[in-house]
């Protein structure tokens, strides 16, 4: 059996969806799964899945809420035995992957999913529904699959989430964006008898980099100095790396500014990849060193930090780069000392 088909069948067997089919499309009502990951199928019984129902992943809805529809034969299940699987809702939910066919989610679809950290969706999603992310304070990664320049789906999610967020944008051009955290505080101005709202953090500025339904990469890059004045160095390193590694809409002036910041904070840059055991990240650092974008003279430091972390795969990447680099001293290749 083909591996891809087999894997799809295995996933479907591990999770069961309750759904209703109306007008040639499917609405997901509930998911039953032993794991914490829901991967919604594109189609069920030949009909596209276009909607996630209200409270679908919230503990606030129970099967009895659609018992009447079930008795009337309107509710169906993708596989038998759903009664023996736990409901995937509330804090049990950790990851959600929505297919490109989904156009809307109902009200409070992810209400109080406190452990949800990853959300994948497409730019074809046009309506998130009222209060969809109420109580979701641990979402850290958004993945948007884009067919064009329409970023409305991303804009709406960002407006609901104030925490630090990593955004992976896949499309004709790929982007890797980081959005800082922000929070609002009400401060009383007693003499004036008014309440002033103070905004802390640069995250709100970054969430306003939209013009209508389009995301403005140039405006995003122009706000880096504001972030540099307020955010942690390790987070700023992620922002700079993301833009340079997936440079959708990146202009040369902004690229120089990002490289200058990474050069100044080279140790934080190294730690970002070393702590993640990210060999591809180290390969990118070596590539930037080779082309002069990052300081090649810091290679010894990078090798030392890698050795301290007992990271053999990373060391292999650096050894290969060291072997190929043209640096010489006194007409002879410099000897590496560990």
Residues 180-203: pLDDT tens digits?
999 877 666 667 667 666 667 899
Residues 107-164: pLDDT tens digits?
999 999 999 999 999 999 999 999 999 999 999 999 999 988 889 999 999 999 999 9
The separation between CA 199 and the C-alpha centre of its own chain, rounded to angstroms, equals: 24
CB 132 within 8 A of CB 108: yes
CB 129 within 8 A of CB 121: no
Task: Please state the domain count of the chain.
Answer: 2
Any domain includes 111: yes
Query: Which residue has better confidence, 189 or 43?
Result: 43
- pLDDT at residue number 246: 96
Any domain includes 19: yes
Any domain includes 168: no
Any domain includes 240: no
Residue owning tokens 């003499």: 191
Q: Among 92, 123, 139, which residue terminates a domain?
A: 139
Residues 255-284: pLDDT tens digits?
999 999 999 999 999 999 999 999 999 999
Q: What number is the average pLDDT over the span 42-65? A: 87
Strands 15-22, 95-97: pairing kind? unpaired
Any domain includes 162: no
- pLDDT at residue number 148: 85
pLDDT band at 63 (very low <50, low <70, confident <90, very high): low
Question: pTM of the full predicted structure?
Answer: 0.87
Q: Phi, psi at residue 166, to the nearest 5°?
A: -100, 130
Provide the CATH number for the domain around residue 87.
3.80.10.10
CA distance 57 to 38: 10
**Residues of the domain holding 290:** 277-328
Percentage, residues of the chain above pLDDT 90:
76
Q: Among 90, 115, 139, which residue terminates a domain?
A: 139
Residues 82-104: pLDDT tens digits?
888 999 999 999 999 999 999 99
Angle (nearest 5°) at CA 297 between 292 and 302: 105
Any domain includes 335: no
Tokens (6 digits) for 8: 């799809």
Query: Which residue has better confidence, 177 or 327?
Result: 177
Any domain includes 66: yes
Range name among 9-23, 31-45, 217-231, 252-266 with the lowest pLDDT average: 9-23
How long a stretch of residues is the chain? 338
- pLDDT at residue number 330: 40
- pLDDT at residue number 201: 84
Residues 202-255: pLDDT tens digits?
999 999 999 999 999 999 999 999 999 999 999 999 999 999 999 999 999 999
Any domain includes 23: yes
Q: Among 139, 168, 202, which residue terminates a domain?
A: 139
- pLDDT at residue number 200: 77
Arithmetic mean of pLDDT over the chain: 88
- pLDDT at residue number 229: 94
Query: Which residue has better confidence, 52 or 172?
Result: 52
């Amino acid at each position: 059996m083909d591996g891809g088909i087999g894997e799809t069948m295995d996933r479907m067997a591990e999770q069961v969806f309750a759904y209703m089919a109306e007008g040639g499309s499917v609405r997901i009502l509930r998911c039953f799964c032993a794991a914490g990951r829901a991967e919604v199928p594109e189609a069920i019984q030949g009909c596209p899945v276009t909607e996630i129902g209200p409270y679908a992943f919230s503990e606030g809805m129970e099967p009895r809420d659609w018992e009447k529809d079930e008795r009337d034969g309107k509710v169906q299940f993708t596989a038998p035995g759903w009664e023996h699987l736990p409901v995937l809702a509330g804090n049990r939910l950790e990851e959600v992957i929505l297919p490109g066919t989904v156009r809307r989610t109902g009200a409070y679809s992810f209400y109080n999913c406190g452990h949800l950290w990853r959300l994948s969706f497409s730019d074809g999603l046009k309506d998130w529904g009222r209060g969809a992310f109420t109580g979701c304070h641990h979402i850290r990664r958004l993945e948007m699959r884009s067919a064009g320049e329409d970023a409305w789906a991303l804009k709406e999610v960002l407006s609901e989430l104030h925490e630090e967020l990593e955004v992976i944008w896949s499309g004709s051009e790929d982007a890797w964006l980081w959005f800082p955290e922000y929070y609002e505080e009400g401060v009383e101005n007693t003499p004036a008898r008014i309440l002033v709202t103070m905004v802390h953090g640069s995250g709100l500025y970054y969430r306003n980099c939209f013009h209508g339904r389009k995301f403005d990469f140039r405006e995003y890059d122009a706000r880096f100095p504001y972030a540099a004045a307020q955010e942690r160095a390790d987070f700023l390193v992620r922002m700079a790396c993301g833009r340079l590694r997936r440079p959708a809409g990146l202009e040369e002036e902004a690229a120089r500014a990002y490289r200058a910041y990474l050069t100044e904070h080279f140790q934080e840059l190294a730690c970002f990849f070393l702590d993640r055991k990210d060999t591809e990240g180290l390969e990118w650092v070596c590539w930037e060193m080779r082309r002069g974008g990052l300081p090649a003279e810091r290679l010894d430091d990078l090798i030392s930090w890698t050795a301290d972390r007992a990271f053999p795969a990373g060391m292999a990447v650096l050894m290969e780069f060291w072997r190929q680099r043209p640096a010489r001293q006194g007409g002879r290749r410099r000897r590496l000392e560990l």
